Amino acid sequence: MKLHEYQSKRIFAQYGIPVQEGEVATTPQEVRALAEQMGCPVVVKAQVLVGGRGKAGGIKLAQTPQQAEEIATRILSMQIKGLPVRKVLVARAADIQQEIYLGIVVDRAAARPVMMASSEGGVEIEEVARTHPEAIKKVHIDPFVGLRAYQTLWLAKGIGLPPSLHRDFGRIAQGLYRSFVECDASLAEINPLVITSEGTLLALDAKIVLDDNGLFRHPDLAAMRDIDEETPSERAAREAGLSFVQLDGDIGCMVNGAGLAMATMDIIQHFGGMPANFLDIGGGARAERVATALRLILADPRVKAVLFNIFGGITRCDEVARGIISVLDEVRPNLPIVARLVGTNEAEGRQILESSGYRIITATTLAEAAQKAVAAARGA
Amino acid sequence: MAILVDKNTRLVVQGVTGREGEFHTRQTLEYGTQVVAGVTPGKGGQFACDGRVPVFDTVREAVEATGANTSVIYVPAPFAPDAIIEAADAGLGLVVCITEGIPVNEMIRVKAYLDMKRVRLIGPNCPGLLTPGQAKVGIMPGHIAMPGPVGVVSRSGTLTYEVVYALTALGIGQTTCVGIGGDPIIGTRFVDVLALFEADPETKAVVLIGEIGGNDEEVAARFIAERMTKPVVAFIAGRTAPPGKRMGHAGAIIEGGTGTAAEKIAALEAAGVRVAEHPEQIARMVAEAIHE
């Protein structure tokens, strides 16, 4: 779960990190009032949960309250990467001498958090990693001994910070690491961390991505979720405990298991179709979950056909087929359905589907199922 | 022969009295695995699965009373890290954690601790292991597999079953099927299992089923090129997955442009691995590899 800049800044501030905090506004009039109160110049920043806000024109400097209002009018009517801007952050503009980068992520290969610093702030770290990786300094953090002072000093020296800032940089790095661990984050990033013209360090931007698996023990953070981050279907899926990702195609997919669900998407595209979603209904394929999942798929008006791909292991295919029929009795979809049940008692399962009276196209192999679904979506 | 679990496995089930734990323990017993004990704090002295499995309060008591050597964990995510560490502290050599949803920062600590103790963890968020005809530890459906020469290692669940089922249908059995789990931090990775299969005289070929996210497949490719003599057939799920989205598994995500299926496939092919375009090709490719 991603947090907004303003939310992340509030958290960082609690960990002693100096941040350019600002206030959140939802109307141009509020922005003007804030600009008058704070004193110009101010910066007006779109609060949407995507990167590249600056490039998209979602971050602007205003020299007067009047100009702040005009800028806010424009930004609040923008969409950035498909997400409408509903909020802006207004902050007193900082005098920037140099921009640096400081962030923590989980290094999966090392099974440790890794803190990264770079003298190239203000650009995406992935971009720096591609163009001049030598500018990035990294330290891995042992979970039992934590981030040590020598490590932050090594980072500070590595990116060429003046000695006068080493101590403050160390405090910021420690705060960032503590916030990362204590919030169960999977990413905590300050980009840019700037050296102001007064020679102090200040976090101009902030980004926290929370580990969804850690949210159960952070109800306060879970409550920060911005529902605009998700499509209505993704939200409904999350609330139903289903794993769902909205895609652009027209073939709805209902699969048990994440790996099999990805393989199903892949094979649909292999045969020239486009999946409308990724959906893992989980083990057992219980009727109630299947019904919720099917409703979700059908809620998308672009969907022209539905493909069921279910492996029946401990739950046998005949049981799965009966479950599917009961769901169809309830949901009554008006679309072609292609079903492939594989595993134990698959012939019986197919028999049950074929004699159900519904227009179910059965398939034995995955390739056949994908081809039939592609044809069905094209109205063939 | 087999790897990790076999007829000498003496299993203790942590979370044996829970709904999932009891359900799967019945299946495990039915398969003929030696389930010697269960653990549920506060329920010591009771019996689970119609009196067939004695329940203990702690893993240590279970091990002392029954000589258990392997643990499987079904406890809910908030308690699973404790359960893993408890199993390691009780002296078990192999701990298999089925539980999904453990926070990644928790797993970083758990893994660091188990590495210090030199205890092998399989999972979390995995289906467990199956050595056909000998032992089933976890939730893989036992009847789809049969004994034979192919080792299977996978980050997935049902996709693995699908491949095992297809292998069995072609008359190709398996030495051991290992589900290593779909989380970003897991106890045992592809390379660890590949090394075990390479050393196992009964295993003649290996199937590796990977997916987007991380770089364990690339690391595996390097190992295969440098160390393996046995043929490997691979499949990578998620060729068409969009970047930045988690595809069901916590670990299945393309981040910062890395962890794509294309990179993994290229690395594996460069290592001489045959990579299937879709899962139905795998069984046939394995048949060819074995007969070469």
On whether residue A34 sits in a domain, the answer given is: yes
Give the pLDDT of residue B29.
97
Restricting to B residues 137-166, those with a Cβ less than 8 Å away from any Cβ of A are 139-141, 143-144, 154-162, 165
Tell whether A210 and A341 lie within a shared domain: no
Mean pLDDT for the stretch of residues B27-46: 96
Tell whether A278 and A174 lie within a shared domain: no
Residues of A in contact with B159 (CB under 8 A): 257, 259-260, 263
Mean pLDDT for the stretch of residues B79-101: 97
Mean pLDDT for the stretch of residues A60-68: 95
Domain boundary among A75, A92, A109: A92
On whether residue A216 sits in a domain, the answer given is: yes
Mean pLDDT for the stretch of residues A88-106: 95
User: Largest Cα–Cα distance of chain A, in whole Å?
Assistant: 80
Give the pLDDT of residue B132.
97
Mean pLDDT for the stretch of residues B140-157: 95
How many residue pairs from chains A and B have C-beta atoms closer than 8 A? Answer: 175
Residues of A in contact with B261 (CB under 8 A): 266
> In the structure, what pLDDT confidence band is assigned to residue A346 with cuts at 50, 70 and 90?
confident
Tell whether A183 and A236 lie within a shared domain: no
Mean pLDDT for the stretch of residues B110-130: 96
Domain boundary among A222, A251, A283: A222
On whether residue A258 sits in a domain, the answer given is: yes
What's the complex ipTM?
A: 0.93
Give the pLDDT of residue B174.
97
Q: Is the pLDDT of residue A229 over 80?
A: no
Mean pLDDT for the stretch of residues A131-151: 95
Tell whether A244 and A364 lie within a shared domain: yes
Contact A311 B162 (CB under 8 A): yes
Nearest to A103 by CA among A139, A153, A149, A58: A139
Contact B239 A256 (CB under 8 A): no
Of B182, B184, B240, the CB nearest to A106: B184
Contact A245 B246 (CB under 8 A): yes
Distance from CA of B238 to the nearest CA of A (A): 5
Q: Is the pLDDT of residue B139 over 60?
A: yes
Distance from CA of A181 to the nearest CA of B (A): 7
CATH classification code of B10-122 = 3.40.50.720
Among A294-308, B78-92, B98-112, name the one with the lowest average pLDDT: A294-308
Q: What CATH number is given to the structural domain containing A55?
A: 3.30.1490.20
Give the pLDDT of residue A224.
94
DSSP A156: H
Report helix, strand or coil for A155: helix
Q: Is the pLDDT of residue A282 over 80?
A: no
Contact B240 A256 (CB under 8 A): no
Whole-number percent of chain A with pLDDT over 70: 98
Tell whether A214 and A104 lie within a shared domain: yes
Domain membership of residue A208 as a residue range: 96-222
Mean pLDDT for the stretch of residues B247-254: 90
Give the pLDDT of residue A285.
58
Q: How many separate domains does chain A show?
A: 3
Q: Is the pLDDT of residue A210 over 60?
A: yes
Axis-axis angle for helices B80-89, B104-117 (nearest 10): 0
On whether residue A7 sits in a domain, the answer given is: no
Tell me, yes or no, if A15 is annotated catalytic: no
Distance from CA of A312 to the nearest CA of B (A): 9
Give the pLDDT of residue A157.
97
Q: Is the pLDDT of residue B5 over 90?
A: yes
Fold of the B141-291 domain: Rossmann fold (3.40.50)
CB of B156 within 8 A of CB of A266? no
Tell whether A36 and A81 lie within a shared domain: yes
Contact B237 A262 (CB under 8 A): yes
On whether residue A103 sits in a domain, the answer given is: yes
Tell whether A282 and A365 lie within a shared domain: yes
More confidently predicted of B19 and B57:
B57
CA geometry: angle at B133 spanning B132 and B137, to 5°? 60
Active site residues of B: 249
Cβ atoms within 10 Å, residue B292: 7
Is A273 an 8 Å CB contact of chain B? Answer: no
Q: Is the pLDDT of residue A314 over 80?
A: no
CA geometry: angle at B39 spanning B35 and B42, to 5°? 150
Contact A344 B144 (CB under 8 A): yes
pTM: 0.93
Tell whether A369 and A346 lie within a shared domain: yes
Phi–psi pair at A298, nearest 5 degrees: -75, -20
Cβ atoms within 10 Å, residue A352: 21
CB of A296 within 8 A of CB of A237? yes
Residues of B in contact with A111 (CB under 8 A): 107-108, 111-112, 185
Nearest to A285 by CA among A262, A260, A248, A304: A260
Is A380 an 8 Å CB contact of chain B? Answer: no
Give the pLDDT of residue A226.
87
Do B10-122 and B141-291 agree at the fold level? yes
Tell whether A191 and A80 lie within a shared domain: no
Query: B102: nearest CA in chain A?
Result: A213
Tell whether A271 and A148 lie within a shared domain: no
Tell whether A84 and A153 lie within a shared domain: no
**Residue whose entry in the numeric block shows the structure tokens 């979720």:** A225
Express each pLDDT in B276-286 by its tens digit. 998 989 999 99
The domain spans of chain B are 10-122, 141-291
Contact B112 A144 (CB under 8 A): yes
Is A212 an 8 Å CB contact of chain B? Answer: yes
Query: A280: nearest CA in chain B?
Result: B248
Restricting to B residues 87-126, those with a Cβ less than 8 Å away from any Cβ of A are 101-109, 111-112
Give the pLDDT of residue A283.
65
How many whole angstroms separate alpha carbon A155 and alpha carbon A340? Answer: 55
Whole-number percent of chain A with pLDDT over 90: 67
Give the pLDDT of residue A231.
76
Q: Is the pLDDT of residue A380 over 70?
A: no
Cβ atoms within 10 Å, residue A368: 16
Q: What CATH number is given to the structural domain containing A299?
A: 3.40.50.261
Continuous segment of H or E residues that includes residue A234: helix A232-239
Within 8 A by CB and 6+ apart from A181, the residues are A113, B105
How many whole angstroms separate alpha carbon B122 and alpha carbon B193? Answer: 10
More confidently predicted of A285 and B233:
B233
Domain boundary among A48, A70, A92: A92
CB of A101 within 8 A of CB of A118? yes
On whether residue A322 sits in a domain, the answer given is: yes
Cβ atoms within 10 Å, residue A55: 10
Average pLDDT for chain B: 95
Tell whether A214 and A249 lie within a shared domain: no
> In the structure, what pLDDT confidence band is assigned to residue A38 with cuts at 50, 70 and 90?
very high
Disruptive mutation site among A147, A229, A248, A311 for chain B (greatest number of B CBs within 10 Å) = A311
> In the structure, what pLDDT confidence band is assigned to residue A284 with cuts at 50, 70 and 90?
low
Average pLDDT for chain A: 91
